[in-house]
Amino acid sequence: MARITKIEGLEELKAGLKGRMDLGPVEDLVKKHGAQLSSRTQENMSAAYIHGYSTGRTRRSVKPIFSDAGMTVSVGPTTNYFPYLEYGTRFMNAMPTLKPAFDVQSVMFINELKGLMQ
């Protein structure tokens, strides 16, 4: 029985396979669903924050932030009082806007991502 002690060309094979990976469609999906999550969250905020003291500052602060060469997106408001609006306090009821948007958008994103693999 022959024993293989060294495999030649492994680095070239890895480089060739990596060069053939096309992550463009995945990056496009991340951009698309990041933007949709941002829009959906803002729509939820417009519907939920209807009190007279609402200025729209939290809604306007929601923007998608892309990182990792477009493979990661972060969406969320930047106002320091947003957690009180989302989760409530002992003096005010919660008005969730980000989590419901995420729950819907994440299912859509996963389904489209699975479609790319087929």
- Per-residue pLDDT, 25: 86
pLDDT digits (tens, 9 = 90+) for 19-55: 667 778 889 999 999 999 999 999 999 999 988 888 9
pLDDT (tens digit, 9 = 90+) per residue, 45-101? 999 998 888 899 999 999 999 998 888 999 999 999 999 999 999 999 999 999 999
Q: What is the pLDDT of residue 51?
A: 84
Residue 86 CA to residue 94 CA, distance in Å, equals 5
- The SS3 call for residue 103 is helix
Does the residue 16 lie in any domain? no
The reply to whether 13 falls in a domain is no
For the chain, the domain total comes to 1
**pLDDT greater than 70 at residue 109:** yes
Q: Is the dihedral of CA 11, 23, 104, 114 positive or negative?
A: negative
What is the CA 26 to chain-centroid distance, rounded?
Answer: 12
Residue 55 within a domain: yes
Identify whether 2 is part of a domain: no
Q: Model's pTM, two decimal places?
A: 0.80
Residue 70: inside a domain, yes or no? Answer: yes
Give residue 6's Cα distance to chain centre.
43
pLDDT reported for residue 17: 64
Within a domain: residue 27?
A: yes
For residue 42, the 8-state DSSP code is: H
Boundaries of domain holding 98:
22-116
> Measuring CA to CA, how many Å separate 20 from each of 37, 77, 108?
30, 38, 27
The pLDDT assigned to 115 comes to 87
